[in-house]
Amino acid sequence: MGPEEIPDIVISRLPIYLRALTRLQTDGQEITSSKELGERLGISSAQIRKDLSHFGEFGKQGTGYEIKKLVDQLRRILKVEREWDIALVGAGAIGHALAHYNGFTDRGFRISMIFDNDPAIVGTRINGFEVRDVSRLSELIQQHNIALAMVAVPAESAQAVTDELVKAGVRGILNYAPINLSTPDNVHVQYIDPVVHLQRITYYV
């Protein structure tokens, strides 16, 4: 089965599995089961087995999953057995938090460049990164062949920044601005908006 045929909902759970498995690994555990994983994640063990079966045979009936093997395989599937450079656009409060976030390490990503348009902060450093002028965005992204970006600019500027990122060759964008972005089909966008998540919570509360 080609990767094109795996439903997006399955793909969306793989990073969650990888995160939980990596945690078990850090705790020194070597074997786990769909039951144990399911209890940790609030997902049924049948669902987990079905999801993973899309990618081949991981576990043996009765003996569970070898964590290291499954981690390595999930990393390959998600293409994070390597480390991706990310351009961060926007050095406001969210940009600052991302520049200081230590959760990227060992999970496949590192911020390699930060851009802003505010003359007062261009040239300063955030957690060791020099803030570059956004006017050099296209030039620097192409020069360093950066494929991923995080957009943490105000809603008003997000589409213009996105258009420039796409023109520079970026193929994946994590967008923190609270608007939907238009991109060509081959550019993948994910959204982080705390209010969207909070509204999903209040519906159920």
Positions in the binding site for a second copy (CB under 8 A): 3, 9, 11-12, 14-16, 18-20, 23, 40-42, 77-80, 84, 86, 92-94, 96-98, 100-101, 103-104, 107-109, 147-148, 150, 171-174, 178-180, 182, 188-205
Cα of first residue to Cα of last residue in the chain, in angstroms, is 40
**Nearest approach, Cβ of residue 158 and a second copy (Å):** 12
Q: Which is nearer to a second copy, 5 or 204 (CB)?
A: 204
**Nearest approach, Cβ of residue 171 and a second copy (Å):** 5
Task: List, edge to edge, every strand of the sheet that includes 172-175.
Answer: 125-126, 129-133, 109-116, 84-89, 148-151, 172-175, 188-191
Q: Three-class SS of residue 127?
A: coil
Is the alpha carbon torsion for 158, 159, 165, 169 positive or negative? Answer: positive
Q: Three-class SS of residue 22?
A: helix
**Nearest approach, Cβ of residue 202 and a second copy (Å):** 4
- Residue in this structure with the two tokens 């902060």, named with its chain if needed: 121
Q: Which is nearer to a second copy, 60 or 195 (CB)?
A: 195
Q: Which is nearer to a second copy, 16 or 168 (CB)?
A: 16
Q: Which is nearer to a second copy, 136 or 196 (CB)?
A: 196
Q: How far, in Å, CA of 17 to CA of 70, rounded?
A: 9
**Nearest approach, Cβ of residue 25 and a second copy (Å):** 14
**Nearest approach, Cβ of residue 139 and a second copy (Å):** 22
Q: How far, in Å, CA of 19 to CA of 39, rounded?
A: 14
Q: Which is nearer to a second copy, 69 or 188 (CB)?
A: 188
Q: Which is nearer to a second copy, 62 or 194 (CB)?
A: 194
Q: Three-class SS of residue 149?
A: strand
Residue 170 neighbours by CB distance under 10 Å: 24
**Nearest approach, Cβ of residue 104 and a second copy (Å):** 6
Give the residue ranges of DSSP H helices in 27-145.
Answer: 34-41, 45-53, 67-77, 93-100, 137-143
- Residue in this structure with the two tokens 């998540």, named with its chain if needed: 197
